[in-house]
Chain A
C-alpha cells in the first residue's frame, strides 16, 4: 500500500430534515503520486463531496482517507484546494489573496511577497497584483485561485470544477496552462468535473461516479499520448464510451 492517496471504504451520510441522505457509498480509490485523476459525473453524484472529504473540510461517516501515509482528520499541509467560484476574498487585492495560504502557515512577509510574485508571474497576473478580484475577468480570477493554491507547493492539488463557469476559449487556455503546471511542478491532481471532454483531455484516469447514492461506477484509463487532440478518433471514442457510462445523451449537458 504505497499509493499517495487512498480512499478506503469511504461513506458519507447527511442527516437532514427529510431524513438521511447517503452522498457517498463505500468509495475505494487509490491514486499514485504525480497522477492526474478526474472525478466525473452528473451533479449530485457525490464527486464534490469526496473532494471535501479529502480536503479535510468534512469527515467521512465511515472509512478512511489517507494522503501521503497519514490519515486525513482535518485540512492537511500536503494539499491545496481550488474552488469552483475561485473563492477569492473580495476585500483583498490579488496579491494579498495569493499570499493568504502562506500567511495561514506563518510564512514570513518577505518570503510571501517573493513566492507570491513568482506564482503571479507564472499565471500571467504579475501586472494585476494590486487589483481587486472584481476588477478581473473570470479567467484571471481562476488563475489567481490556482496561483494561491500553488504557493505552498502542494503534493496534492484538489480542484472542484474550477473551469465550469468559464467560456469555452478561456477554459481551453486554462486547461492547457494547468497541464503545463502539472508537468513542471510534479504534483498529484484530483480534478472534479461534469464535462466529459475536459476529463478526457486532462486525466490519466477518469473515475466515473453514478448518483444516489454516489459511488464509483467505473474507472477508465486514458492512454492517449499528450498533448491530446480532441479531434482525433481515439479521443472521440473515449468520450463516447464515457458518455455511455454516465448515461448522458450527446445533446444533453456538456
Chain B
C-alpha cells in the first residue's frame, strides 16, 4: 500500500467547514450568533493586527511559562530519577500537587500576583511543570540497567553517563512530557486570560462575547486550534531530529 499523504489530515477540517456553512445557511441560529465561514474570514481580513497582537500575547506567555518549567522540571527529573533518596522525599508531594488543576489556582494567583502577565505565566508554569517532571523521571527510570553497567564497566565518568546514556535514553519520554506540557499550558493560558489579564486570545474571546462579536469568538477559536496544531508539529519534528534511532523500533506509524 502506498504511504498515505499527510494532506489527508485536511479532509475532516474541510468537511467541518462545509457542515458549518450548511448550518449557518440553514438559518437555525441567527447570523449574529453563528456567522457563516465567510464572515469570520472577513474578521481575519479586517482586523489582522488585533488578532495577531492577541495571539502573540498568548504565545509569549506560554513560551515563557514552558521555558521556565522545562529549565526547572527536566534537571529535577534527572536527579529524582537517578537518586532513590530524592524520589522517596518528593514522590508524595509530586502526586499531591500534580492532581491540582492549575485553573483551580487562578483565584490564589490573582491574590498573590494581581492582574497581569505574572499570574498567567505562573499558572502556565505549573501546568507544564508536572507532566515534564513526571515524564523525565519515568524516562530516566526506563533506561535499561545493563546499559548503565556497560558504561560503568568501561569506566565512563558520571558526566559521560549522563550525556551519552541518561539524556538520550530519557529523551523520548521528555518529548512526550513536552507535548503534554504544551497542551496543558495552552489550555491554561486561554482560561487564565479570561480572568486574569487584559490581552491574549482568552481575553479576546471573552470580550467578543460581551460585545456580540461572534465572528471574533470563532476567529479566536480557529487561531487557538492552528497554534495548537503548529506546536504539535514542532514537537514531532524535534522528535524526528533527536530520536531518529527510534525509527523502525516502535510500532508508531510514520
Are A and B co-members of a single complex? yes
B164 adjacent to A87 (CB under 8 Å): no
**Is the C-beta of A197 less than 8 angstroms from some C-beta in chain B?**
no
Instruction: Check A87–B147 contact: CB distance below 8 A.
Output: yes
The residue in chain A whose Cβ has the minimal distance to the Cβ of B169 is A91
Would you give the shortest CB distance from B51 to chain A, in whole angstroms? 42
Q: Within residues 92 to 117 of chain A, which ones have a CB less than 8 A from any CB in chain B?
A: 92, 100-101, 103-105
Which candidate, B14-22, B113-121, B152-160, B183-191, is the interface stretch facing chain A? Answer: B152-160
Complex Cα–Cα for A197 and B224 (A): 67
A105 and B156 CA atoms in complex are apart in Å by 7
User: Are A75 and B147 neighbours in the complex by a CB distance under 8 Å?
Assistant: no
Known: A89-B147, A90-B245. A57 touches B152 (CB 8 A): yes
A87 near B146: Cβ-Cβ < 8 Å: yes
Q: How far is the CA of A56 from the CA of B154 in the complex (A)?
A: 10
Using CB atoms and an 8 Å cutoff, list the residues of chain B in contact with chain A. Answer: 146-147, 149-157, 160, 164-165, 168-169, 171, 243, 245, 248-249
Say yes or no: A104 contacts B248, CB within 8 Å. no
* Closest beta carbon of chain B to A59's beta carbon, Å: 13
How many inter-chain residue pairs (CB < 8 Å) link A and B? 63
Known: A134-B248, A134-B249. A89 touches B153 (CB 8 A): no
A83 interface residue per 8 A CB criterion: yes
Contact A55 B153 (CB under 8 A): yes
Q: Is A135 an interface residue (CB 8 A)?
A: yes
Known: A89-B165, A91-B169. A100 touches B146 (CB 8 A): no
Give the interface size bracket for A toward B: 20 to 34
Chain A residues lying within 8 Å of B169, measured Cβ to Cβ, are 89, 91
A87 cross-chain contacts in B, Cβ below 8 A: 146-147, 149-150
Q: CA–CA, A105 to B152, complex, Å?
A: 11
Which applies to chain B's interface (DSSP): helix, strand, loop or mixed? helix
What are 10 inter-chain pairs, A to B, with CB distance below 8 A? Answer: A57-B149, A87-B146, A89-B150, A92-B168, A100-B150, A100-B156, A101-B154, A103-B156, A104-B160, A135-B248
**Which secondary structure dominates chain A's binding surface?**
loop
Using an 8 Å CB-CB cutoff, how does the interface string of A134-153 with B read, 1 for contact, 0 for none?
11000000000000000010
B146, B151, B153, B155 — most chain A CB neighbours (10 Å): B153
Q: Which chain A positions have C-beta within 8 A of B157?
A: 104
Q: Report chain B residues within 8 Å CB of A101.
A: 154
Partner of A103, one of B150, B153, B160: B160
Residues of B within 8 A of A70 (CB): none
**Of B151, B154, B248, most A-chain CB atoms within 10 Å:** B154
**Contact B149 A83, beta carbon cutoff 8 Å:** yes
* Interface of A toward B, CB cutoff 8 Å: 55-57, 75, 77, 80-81, 83, 85, 87, 89-92, 100-101, 103-105, 132, 134-135, 152
Interface centre among B150, B243, B245, by most A CB within 10 Å? B150
A126 to B75, CA, bound (A): 38
Q: A83 contacts which of B150, B156, B160, B245 (Cβ < 8 Å)?
A: B150
Closest to B242 in A: A91
- Decide: B160 and A80 in contact? CB cutoff 8 A: no
Measured CA separation A81–B149 after assembly (Å): 10
CA distance A89 to B169 in the complex (A): 9
Q: Which 4 A-B pairs give the minimum distances between C-beta atoms?
A: A104-B156, A87-B150, A101-B154, A91-B168
Q: With a CB–CB cut-off of 8 A, which chain A residues contact B171?
A: 91
Given contacts A104-B156, A104-B160, contact A90 B249 (CB under 8 A): yes
Q: With A and B bound together, what is the CA distance between A90 and B144 in angstroms?
A: 10
CA distance A213 to B230 in the complex (A): 61
Once bound together, how far apart are the Cα atoms of A75 and B154, in whole Å? 7
* Residue in A57, A80, A103, A104 with the greatest tally of chain B CB atoms within 10 Å: A104
Return A16 CB to nearest CB of chain B, in Å.
Answer: 16
Which residues of the other chain, B, contact A81 by a CB distance below 8 angstroms? Answer: 149-150, 153
**In contact, A80 and B154 (Cβ under 8 angstroms):** yes
Q: A83–B154 Cα gap in the complex (Å)?
A: 12
Q: Closest residue of chain A to B156, judged by CB? A: A104
Closest to A87 in B: B150
Inside 8 A of A152's CB, which chain B residues have their CB?
154
Whether the Cβ atoms of B160 and A75 lie closer than 8 Å is no
Q: Is the CB of A100 within 8 A of B168?
A: no
A87 vs B153: C-alpha distance when bound (angstroms): 11
In the complex, are the beta carbons of A104 and B146 less than 8 A apart? no
Q: Tell me whether B248 and A75 are in contact (CB under 8 A).
A: no
Set B152, B154, B243, B245: member contacting A100, Cβ < 8 A: B154
A134 contacts across to B, CB distance below 8 A: 245, 248-249
C-alpha spacing A81/B155, complex, angstroms: 11
Considering the chains assembled together, what is the distance between the CA atoms of A63 and B150 in angstroms? Answer: 24
- Bound together, the chains give a CA A80 to CA B154 distance in angstroms of 7
